[in-house]
Structure 1
């Protein structure tokens, strides 16, 4: 097991400080040739709850299917909504009008949503099952239950309740063996399971990363190579395990000041993590060091979402200031910020952006979806342009 000691951080701090001048020079050079992005709000999807500001439809999770054809949303309304990408991107057929007027296409959930499935509890996580196209979707809920839904039949086909009724914050599937899943919970454990082993799915392994019984807030398998699964905890650390022998962590990433809320693999050796310390960090997993820290968004106590767009090297998160932040992986300052206007301007609490998700398409144009605490979905289109 490799741990990162305080002395290591002190050394890193000296190295970073010593190279600050060179880093600034490099950034100035890169700034002249960097690729800028044009983003615009193309579609806005709201509901009666959004307009009334009842706050009963907070969107906690958004997930595009692997092919980018469908988007699933879930939250405290106990509904899994499925949207067709074409309905979300219908502004492409009216692109000229939107660009000229700056007015997005506005829909309500009833018109935009293809169908929905009622869930038994509030939803903390959704994940499409690899190699099943757009048919099977997994969920983790506030009652500690993991379920899988067959979307063609619109019904659950698997249920697992092994977290003692404690909230499941995150689930993910192994890409090398897509049947295997993992879930992280408030009970302080990450459990790996196989739906083929009995009605409740045999627990293949269980780890308690922190000795303090800290909640496990995020779980992510490395989708690029090797049997690696990463776990983020309320004890401020990221733990990585070899799923073939889950006794001790392969390494521990220690650098956040508060709970780690999300983990994403950007490539085979780069991990992106976010925390309620208001920072996103990019790590070299092989050297177990921080490459870059991203700051600008406001995140001190809530889950605000994290998504990486791998083809374009962009990172997105929400904010408790009700804004959407986009970072280029090469720079610590935001590349683009969108300030969402609340639906009800009379409210003192203007809500927050609670979930974000990139559609993983080509590297010259992108689609980003953000959901907020009022149940509003905003779809953004981006195109890259070279500046001289």
Structure 2
């Protein structure tokens, strides 16, 4: 395992570059993101370990980041003051090349469009998801959620499809190819706390109280599968073709699930990061109808684990995590799998 210390700044999000196999970016905040500055780190894996290429200071906490899918040097960040900032890592100045300011509360998530590659999205505690073009100061579109929105993601399969999970325990999906109408492109709204679709014969369906949803991710191989996680510690997988309830429930984390990431290499593997200070590997059983189960636990963090991401290159086990212990960890999850 390799480690890097973001001294004085607690990690909130980590992401591998989609262009370089040795480049990682980390969004971090001073004072656990409650008050104070933020910092964007650009890290590189070298024969001498993890080296910091450069870092960018911000006046407020950074909660998330997303690499551009169109330009290898561009990264967008979301901040506690509600702003989005675009950086070009090839330039010397420590200032962003563009700033986008429309959110009225904390911008907690940002995601670059994986299909058209020309736009990115942000979500905020102000109850909106906004679509942006990096060449324009004003947003292209605002999608209301009417509740604190912690995570937004573009579908990796269908251009114009975007989703979000919110504090009201719902997953929402919009299709921007549809007429705006009164629903503002909203095509699906699922209650995450619904009973599971598949139940054992003769056993009553479990019921769950609503709980804040903090994270979600689209499966990279199965275009209708989405995983969600949040305060109730349960990871759920949904098939958007069957919106009545989750397909799988996977339990094992002791505290809230903060981040989820489907594997870019295998269709059934999912990584999670949690406030219980662990990152865990899961299989949802794939399309074979098998039960979801935990495959391994990485417990190196000594504070909240807040971010996790897979390396897109090489063999299918390498991942990165960050947490409130000021540490960025690079590890091979195969070394932590159960016997």
Per the normalisation by structure 1, the TM-score is 0.72
CA RMSD of superposed structures (Å): 2.5
Q: 1:261 to 1:112 in 2, by over 3 A?
A: same
Deviation at 1:358, TM superposition (A): 1.1
Answering whether residue 279 of structure 2 is matched by residue 324 of structure 1, we say yes
- The answer to whether residue 144 in structure 2 is matched with residue 208 in structure 1 is yes
Of 109, 112, 118, 1:173 maps to: 112
Query: Aligned residue for 1:304?
Result: 258
Moved over 4 A (4+): none
Computing the radius of gyration over CA atoms, which structure comes out larger, 1 or 2?
1
8 Å Cα contact 2:166-2:213 kept in structure 1: yes
CA contact (8 A) 1:217 1:262 kept: yes
Q: Where does the alignment leave 5 or more consecutive residues of structure 2 unmatched?
A: 31-37, 194-209, 286-290
2:204 equivalent in structure 1: none
CA distance in 2, matches of 1:365, 1:130: 21
The one-character-per-residue Cα deviations of 1:285-340 (angstroms, maximum 9, x if unpaired) are 2222422111101234xx63222213123211122222221112324331101222
Q: Cα–Cα, structure 1 residues 310 and 128, in superposed 2: closer, same or farther, change >3 Å?
A: same
Deviations 1:188-217 (A, max 9, x none): 1111122323xx2x22211212xxx31111
* Secondary structure of 1:374's aligned partner: coil
| C-alpha contact (below 8 Å) 2:217/2:226 kept by paired residues | yes
Distance 2:117 2:59 in 1: 25
SS, match of residue 246 in structure 2: strand
Report the counterpart of residue 225 of structure 1 in structure 2: 158
Which structure shows the bigger proportion of residues in helix conformation? 1
Name the residue aligned to 1:293. Answer: 249
After superposition, what is the alpha-carbon deviation per residue over 1:116-137, rounded to whole angstroms, capped at 9, x for unaligned? 111232101100011212x000
What pairs with 1:69-84 in structure 2 (closer than 5 Å)?
69-77=22-30, 78-84=38-44
Q: For each residue in 1:325-379, what CA deviation from the matched residue of structure 2 results, as whole angstroms up to 9, or x when unmatched?
A: 111232433110122263xxxxxxxx221211111235x5321111121111121
Once the two structures are TM-superposed, the CA of residue 149 in structure 1 deviates from its matched residue by: 0.3
SS of corresponding position for 1:117:
strand
Structure 1 unaligned regions, length at least 5:
1-41, 50-55, 92-106, 343-350
C-alpha contact (below 8 Å) 1:183/1:190 kept by paired residues: yes
Per-residue CA distance 1:205-231 (angstroms, 9 max, x = gap): 11212xxx3111111011122320001
Task: Verify: 1:272 aligned to 2:227, yes or no.
Answer: yes
Secondary structure of the structure 1 residue equivalent to 2:219: strand
1:140 is aligned, of 78, 81, 85, to 78
Match for 1:124 among 36, 60, 63? 63
CA contact (8 A) 2:88 2:97 kept: yes
Count of equivalent residues: 300
Give the Å deviation of 1:276. 1.1
State the SS of the aligned residue for 2:274. coil
1:241 aligned to which of 162, 174, 181: 174
Q: Which has the higher contact order (CA 8 A, sep 6+)?
A: 1
Instruction: Determine if the alignment matches structure 1 residue 57 to structure 2 residue 9.
Output: yes
State the TM-score, normalized to the length of structure 2.
Answer: 0.81
Question: 2: distance between equivalents of 1:371 and 1:176?
Answer: 27
